[in-house]
Amino acid sequence: MGLIVQKFGGTSVGSVERIQNVSNRVIQEAKNGNEVVVVVSAMGKTTDHLVSLANEITAQPSKREMDMLLTTGEQITISLLTMALHQKGYEAVSYTGWQAGMQTESIHGNARIQHIDTARIQSQLTKGRIVVVAGFQGVTDEGDITTLGRGGSDTTAVALAAALKADKCDIYTDVTGVFTTDPRYIKDARKLQAISYDEMLELANLGAGVLHPRAVEFAKNYQVPLEVRSSLENENGTIVEEEPSMEQNLVVRGIAFEDNISRVTVAGLRNQLQTLSTIFTTLATNNINVDIIIQHATSSDRMSISFSVKTEDLQQTVAVLEQNRHVLDYEKIEHESQLAKVSIVGSGMISNPGVAAEMFEVLAQEKIEVKMVSTSEIKVSTVVPHSEMVKAVETLHVAFELDKQLYINDFLFRHLT
């Protein structure tokens, strides 16, 4: 007997029929002799509907009251799923986040988990019951309900798996696993049998929407084995672990891409030691996330800084810079939109020099202009024109042979021995 945490997202529980399907998945794990904890999201577009209702009342709702409102979505799902399990003859109990012992910091809308008191869940598991927990939510020390922000149900599931010392955490989604790139755009995208925590974290941060970065961080920090699986199809998914035992020889494991990127250039800044600190502290104070940064001197006492931001943040970024022009002491601001970020990711880059050069050569051959570059040990990101985004991904996907079904023997060996 093992302990399995299962997480089902909004699409997976989007209707009564799908909730019944989820109950069958849960029951199968129980039949296998496992203790089961299930984490669920709100049904389908429930959260969007609740946000819309709030906006009909006020354009600026209280963050505390928004958390109170939004957490009702998951409460609907946990009760319906538990009823479905009862109807099929299985003992189960549903808990909200606070009932499940999910203690968070006092930040409404994007709280972080600080502690989980698992006593109540453990007690129910000991009695042979399936425990169904509302994802995305917790409670402060003062008793206020909080939400965990985007991807909060993933984070709930992995955090619970870590706290309960679960044998595994299965993340059920509307896709069959983690792909080499987004199969909605690239028809030859291939499902990976395994990927490392570090690679998955890079892909998640770079725009891959399968797992939320905070959930991957939890899994890595507490060594929680993850499997990304389909809630609709009964097949093996993608294992996320410390060192993948399958497809080990892949230098590049995946390609992530993200549109709606803008480049901002602040020209004529004083070339002083504190300039970088001043400009990016100013932006951070206004909650503006900056990504790729390029600095270059234009004269002995002046320099320019270019950086990328989400296009949705462009207007605020320019406004903040203009409001602080007297402090930053620059000559002008230039900006460009209609850009995209394309990134290759793979732990094999560490021991294989020349990967970045190959990437740039491939893009140059296709006459795709590279406007900005950022690198780390296991990724290379480029900013390209939005019109060239899909072409860049397709070309790189073929160049690094991600379209080929490699290393099947490794997969068979793992699952047959």
Domain spans of the chain? 3-174, 255-399
Joined together, the tokens standing for residue 281 give 């502290």
Nearest to 141 by CA among 168, 171, 176, 114: 114
pLDDT digits (tens, 9 = 90+) for 248-275: 667 899 999 999 999 999 999 988 888 8
User: Helix, strand or coil for residue 346?
Assistant: coil
Q: From CA 237, how far away is CA 155, in angstroms rounded? A: 19
> For residue 118, with 0-12 CB atoms within 10 Å meaning exposed, 13-18 middle and 19 or more buried, which class applies?
middle
DSSP 80: H
Beta strand pairing call for 102-104 and 35-40: unpaired
pLDDT at 348: 85
Q: Hey, how many other C-beta atoms are within 10 angstroms of the C-beta on 312?
A: 9
| Cβ 113 vs Cβ 103: under 8 Å | yes
Q: What is the pTM of this model?
A: 0.84
CA 257 to chain centre: 13
CATH number listed for the domain at residues 3-174: 3.40.1160.10
Q: What is the DSSP letter of 347?
A: G
pLDDT of 297: 84
**Span 60-115, pLDDT tens digits:** 999 999 999 999 999 999 999 999 999 999 999 999 999 999 999 999 999 999 99
Q: What is the CATH number of domain 255-399?
A: 3.30.2130.10
Are 3 and 164 a contacting pair, CB within 8 Å? yes
Spans of the chain, pLDDT less than 50: 407-417
Coil, strand or helix: which one is 17? helix
40/158 Cα distance (integer angstroms): 12
CA within 13 Å, CB half, 90: 27
The rounded distance, in Å, linking the Cα atoms of 326 and 275 is 13
pLDDT recorded at residue 351 = 81
- Asked if residue 302 lies in contact with residue 269, where contact means CB atoms within 8 angstroms, the answer is yes
> What's residue 237's pLDDT?
94
H/E segment holding residue 224: none
For 282-299, the pLDDT digits (tens) are: 999 998 999 999 998 878
Alpha-helical segments (H) within 58-109: 63-87
